[in-house]
Structure 1
């Protein structure tokens, strides 16, 4: 299961608010983005990490489409707080989120849209680095989320390049993005999955 998403409010603490705002301004310049991704998930209960790869699409204000291509095929649409599985015909089936997935998904959507306030409501955020090579650290504020989610790190430059999610049970998810670019035209299935005309 892909783990994704996050939200912010108040002042970013322990680092330069200027860096955080410059990162957000940079990310929000790209309203529709495509990338290839690789994901590795380490679970203390398993001897081997679980790996997957595929393509992702983010469209500001509409959500994200994760298309897993290896080792199996699955398309997930994350819109707002909802996660849907999309079949080859474009039919959507709601899937139940693991705890924390909704918060992570919403945070990512807010961050990529350059909206810090919704994220700061749920996370304390610190920023390190420079505008060309930065890392953002997210710690959940709400006790019920903190019981499940230890923290999240995002890193990147012009585009988001990596997501690291650490859960309280020791599970860790690392997502790396390559060939990140402005999306160009969307196909019919992508538009349907993200609710675009």
Structure 2
């Protein structure tokens, strides 16, 4: 899998959670706001994911599967299981890509995607001032069994990447659909979401240490 593919997975995940949780700043519904506050409150969140990346120009859909771990103290760890096994570690300073045979890293401020990573980490640490600059809420609906939100980008950076984000879920995020430029799209489905265990395993911690 090429480096751009890994970055694409990273961007999709960052955009999805960034878009979703940014509604805590804008949404007027107090119940909905409470749910998003709950989503961003856990210091560690774990989930399985399946991502479908559709490229309209090629008429192809690429599927990636694996697990993801977010921790406020360390960053985000993607453990991609297919189509190949790979780890992608994102911290405030670095993005590290590791497979069985390859290893690469890049400073966040040395890549055009660095501002996305920085913004995401600011989001998860509660920087609402930064969030308010980037998204408009088109709609937000909540019931005790289901919620959904639709957002459009406000900033020039995100407008270059996508057109609209639709997210839905119950206690946690279940699905996010990102409508991108050139009629491309990314659909991410999460399952078995949990805030436990709160402590990183030795293997997870070792991967995060690579990006220190």
TM-score (norm 2): 0.73
Counterparts of 1:1-197 in structure 2 under 5 Å? 1=5, 2=9, 3-5=12-14, 6=18, 8=22, 12=26, 16-80=28-92, 82-87=94-99, 93-94=105-106, 103=116, 105=117, 109=121, 116-125=128-137, 126-130=139-143, 132-184=145-197, 185-195=199-209
Please, which runs of 5 or more residues in structure 2 have no aligned partner? none
Distance 1:194 1:90 in 2: 17
Distance 2:50 2:131 in 1: 25
Please, which runs of 5 or more residues in structure 1 have no aligned partner? none
CA contact (8 A) 2:141 2:149 kept: yes
Distance 1:139 1:183 in 2: 32
User: Residues 163 and 25 of structure 1: is their aligned pair in 2 closer, same or farther, counting only changes over 3 Å?
Assistant: same
RCO higher in 1 or 2 (8 Å CA, sep ≥ 6)? 1
Over aligned residue pairs, what C-alpha RMSD do you find?
3.5
TM-score (norm 1): 0.78
CA contact (8 A) 1:23 1:131 kept: no
> CA shift at 1:87, angstroms?
4.0
Equivalent pairs counted in the alignment come to 194
